[in-house]
Amino acid sequence: MIKERTLVVVKPDGVQRSLIGEITGRFERVGLKLVGVKMIVPTKEFIETHYTIDPEWRRITGEKTIKSYKEKGQTPPSEDPLEITGIILNHLKNYMITGPVVAMVWEGVHAVKIVRKLVGSTEPLSSDVGTIRGDYVIDSYQLSDKDGRAVRNLIHASGTVDEANKEIDLWFKKEELIDYKLVQDKILYDVNLDGMLE
């Protein structure tokens, strides 16, 4: 059984909305294990490092954004993906340093995909009902772009196992992550559910 670890960050709006417990509870109740947690106020430099940890992020996000503008019949602010990401990154830097954020590392099988499923898609307007972004926040690219700010989507979660490993290394020192057993691990992962009856 291959366990994965993934990074979750409750963004400043999530902390200000008093949603730390609600968000944490969703990962706990699905059966994931919290192996690291801390509260910090990030710097702009740190946020830029975080979002550009994947060297392709600027290009991919820029292209994705241009495509979504065109799908809605709107004109993107630029045809250059890197210029678009420059704007998005600036907004993210202003947003993420406004107050404390809570960074967490969650462990379990398929942790990366399970967390992304619970978090929901990036833009709250289209995040499914039942997901964190779908249930607890209303915002859209249309509104955030008009106001010249980042979309307030409460939470960051690693997109892939590779991204998760890099992000965890960035946010946490080795000694801040704790290996331990949870009693429920047996029920979630053991092949035989024996030993239950007295």
Residues that bind Mg ion (CB under 5 A): 159
Amino acid symbol at 184: Q
Examine the residue annotation and report whether 110 is marked as an active-site residue of this protein.
no
Q: Which one of ligand GDP, Mg ion, none interacts with residue 153, CB within 5 to 8 A by kind?
A: ligand GDP
Q: How far apart are CA 45 and CA 186, in angstroms?
A: 42
Q: How far apart are CA 137 and CA 124, in angstroms?
A: 6
Q: Which one of Mg ion, ligand GDP, none interacts with residue 68, CB within 5 to 8 A by kind?
A: ligand GDP
50, 91, 110, 156: the active-site residue? 156
Q: How far apart are CA 132 and CA 143, in angstroms?
A: 20
C-alpha distance from residue 62 to each of 47, 51, 70, 82, 83 (Å):
17, 13, 13, 6, 8
Least distance from Mg ion to the Cβ atom of residue 167, Å: 9
Nearest to 43 by CA among 103, 9, 89, 94: 94
* x/- map, 116-145, ligand GDP, by CB under 6 A: ------x------------------x--xx
Q: Which is nearer to ligand GDP, 147 or 169 (CB)?
A: 147
**Residue 151 interacting with ligand GDP (CB under 6 A):** yes
Binds ligand GDP by CB under 6 A, chosen from 159, 165, 177, 185: 159
Least distance from Mg ion to the Cβ atom of residue 98, Å: 20
**Those residues with Cβ within 8 angstroms of residue 181's Cβ, 6 or more apart along the chain or in another chain:** none
Catalytic residue set: 156
